[in-house]
Structures are given as C-alpha cells and as structure tokens.
Amino acid sequence: MSPHAHRVPDAPGGGLREFDLIRRYFDRGPTRRAALGIGDDCALLAPATGCDLAVSTDMLVAGTHFFEDTDPEALGHKALAVNLSDLAAMGARPLAFTLALALPRPDEAWLGAFSRGLFALADRHGCELVGGDTTRGPLNVCITVFGEVPNGAALRRDHAEPGDDLWLSGCTGEAAYALRCRLQGRPLAAGDPAQLRLDRPEPRVALGLFLRHLARAAIDVSDGLLGDLAHVCRRSRVGAEIDAASVPMPAALRALPPGDALRLALAGGDDYELLFTAAPENRAALAACALPHGLTRIGRIVPGEDVRVLDARGARIDIDVGGYEHFGA
C-alpha cells in the first residue's frame, strides 16, 4: 500500500495512522511477477517481451454500485472480478493490480473478510496486488488491473465486420433479477444461483484467452447486453441483429412473462459475460469450446448502425433499455 498515512483536521494526533493497520491485510511480502511490489513510491511491472500491458480501472461506490450492507468478502471478490472481466474482454492475461480503498473507519473484521474475498479470486487468476492507497472516507473501492496481451492480439471493440456472427458466453439477466427481488423487498437466498451472479460474478478470463485467435471484436457485458453491443457497433461503424429466440434464458427467468424475461436478459446489466463477434468460418471451433460455460450464437453483425432485436418471423421487437434500475460497474 501507499506509505502515506492520512490525517484530517478533525482527527488530530495522527488519527489516521490507524489506517496503517490496513496494510496488515494486504501486504503479503515479495512479489512473484512484478519487479517491485508494495512498500515503495511505485511498483515496478515488467510485461513480457512482445506484450502490451492492458490496463483498466473501475471504482465501486457504496450506495451507487452496491448496498452499504454488502458482505465484505463478496465485495472484495466483485471489486476485482469486474476489473478482471475487462481484461478478459481484451484477451489479456491477468498480471497485477493496485487497490485504493476509502473506509469510514478502520474495521478489522470488515478488512479481514474483504481481503479474503479479494485474494481468493486474485490467487485463482495469478494476479498479484502490487500497491495502492488506503484512507478515511465514504466507502469506495478503486482497483486498477494490469494484464499482458501479445502485441496486436488484443480483442478490441472496433474490429466487428458485417457478416460476423454475434456470440454470447453463458447467459444474462440473473444479476438484474436478483437486484430487482431485493429492491422489491423479497431478496433471494444468499446461495441462490441468481443471487450469486449478482454477488460473485466470475470473470471469463480463460475464455478471453481462448478467443484471441477466434474472435474479431469483444466486450464484457456489464451495462446490459444491448447497451454494450451498441458500444461495439458505434466503434466498429456497423449494425447488429439479435434473434430473440436464440438468447439463452437462465432458469430464474423462465417463470417470468416472456417480454419481461427478455428485457432482463438484454438490458439488465451486471452480467460480466463476454459478447463477441467472429467470422462464420470459426463456428465449429467456437462450438467446440470446452470451457465450463457455453457459447451461444445470438445474432449477426450487419451494415448500418442500428442494433435490432428480431422475433422468429424477423419482425423488430422494441426493448426498453432505459427503464431498468441496476447497479453498473
């Protein structure tokens, strides 16, 4: 963590020196991959020869991205997961991350649980904490993550071409459904699969690496499938069509009215699946993907600039993407 102790005018006597204790939960000794880790003015990273360093930052704010009473272990997991998902969408291999954390007060139980969730995920992906900052303030978690990707191999948003297939990993809509249940006062059980999608999303890191030579453009689905697809289309200057009947529907959504379920799946957000385009000649290779989450071909890239959802007869379905309430990250 940063060496800087923080003190505020209303906390004389070095009140924020207490925040030094936070380091206890985050400094795990010498780094394995980084040239220099926690404890100096900067960390030193040395990406492998022939690789670019992929960098992404996400800030999660209490009350905006998560409930104040969120289980800190789940928050530690999710704060890193949403960043690893950005690496996955670029086809980058996780390398390291920094953590900046503002807390209203030093709370050892909270820090212990938060760091457990954080490091359990980090260790699974070989991603090491190399530095950061801890301070007093309204609860805020800002992670910057670093990954390696061979020069020119990154999956970008601006490479989709008309004629590409449109693919989705896993399925979408469960996290938004779990959030809606909570907002309506009938929260799902902590172990419910839909609740786990909201609380502990699994970044598709291995899939991102697998796609390096098979996909043309990719994005992670964090803000709702249609909204994220629109980002790809805008940057690639293309349009897209989604076949509504082909959109995978998770179990939690099957009891809902079909229009409602479709809207959750296409506009719900907080999914952290990968949405990508690929040339039709790669269909067999993609269908053979042995990763533990299926890939579904849900549509195609077309000329133009519109993103359309089509019913079985090819007629356009209007989806209201603006009306949803969701956490975004």
- Of the two residues 57 and 245, which places its CB atom closer to a copy of itself in the complex? 57
Cβ count near 91 (within 10 Å): 27
* 8 A C-beta contact, residue 191 and residue 71: no
* 8 A C-beta contact, residue 296 and residue 166: no
Residues 270-309 that bind a copy of itself (CB under 8 A): none
Phi and psi angles of residue 223, each rounded to the nearest 5 degrees, phi first: -115, 15
| 152 Cβ contact list (under 8 Å, min separation 6) | none
Q: Is 92 in the site for a copy of itself (CB under 8 A)?
A: yes
What six digits make up the tokens of 85? 């998902």
What six digits make up the tokens of 81? 């997961």
What six digits make up the tokens of 288? 């053979």
* Residues binding a copy of itself: number (CB under 8 A): 87
For the bound state, the minimum distance from the C-beta of residue 254 to a copy of itself, rounded and expressed in Å, comes to 25
Residue with tokens 């004389």: 12
- Of the two residues 94 and 299, which places its CB atom closer to a copy of itself in the complex? 94
Tell me the C-alpha distance between 89 and 232, whole Å. 12
Residue from the set 31, 56, 115, 169 that interacts with a copy of itself by CB under 8 A:
56
Tell me the C-alpha distance between 56 and 90, whole Å. 10
What six digits make up the tokens of 271? 């999914």
Classify 156 as helix, strand or coil. Answer: strand
Residue from the set 28, 200, 212, 235 that interacts with a copy of itself by CB under 8 A:
235
For the bound state, the minimum distance from the C-beta of residue 99 to a copy of itself, rounded and expressed in Å, comes to 8
Give me the amino acid identity at 105: R
Q: Is 181 in the site for a copy of itself (CB under 8 A)?
A: no
- Of the two residues 182 and 283, which places its CB atom closer to a copy of itself in the complex? 182
Quick one: which segment of 50-58, 196-204, 239-247, 295-303 binds a copy of itself (CB under 8 A)? 50-58
Give me the amino acid identity at 33: R
Distance of CA 122 to the CA centre of its chain: 14
What six digits make up the tokens of 121? 């995920």
Quick one: which segment of 54-62, 106-114, 197-205, 289-297 binds a copy of itself (CB under 8 A)? 54-62
* 8 A C-beta contact, residue 269 and residue 213: no
For the bound state, the minimum distance from the C-beta of residue 185 to a copy of itself, rounded and expressed in Å, comes to 12
- Of the two residues 103 and 295, which places its CB atom closer to a copy of itself in the complex? 103
Residues 94-153 that bind a copy of itself (CB under 8 A): 98-102, 130-133, 135-138, 140, 142, 144, 146-147, 149, 151
Quick one: which segment of 84-92, 160-168, 285-293, 302-310 binds a copy of itself (CB under 8 A)? 84-92
Residues 6-35 that bind a copy of itself (CB under 8 A): 6-9, 11-14, 16-17, 35
Tallying the residues shown for the chain, one arrives at 329
Q: Is 169 in the site for a copy of itself (CB under 8 A)?
A: no
For the bound state, the minimum distance from the C-beta of residue 24 to a copy of itself, rounded and expressed in Å, comes to 16
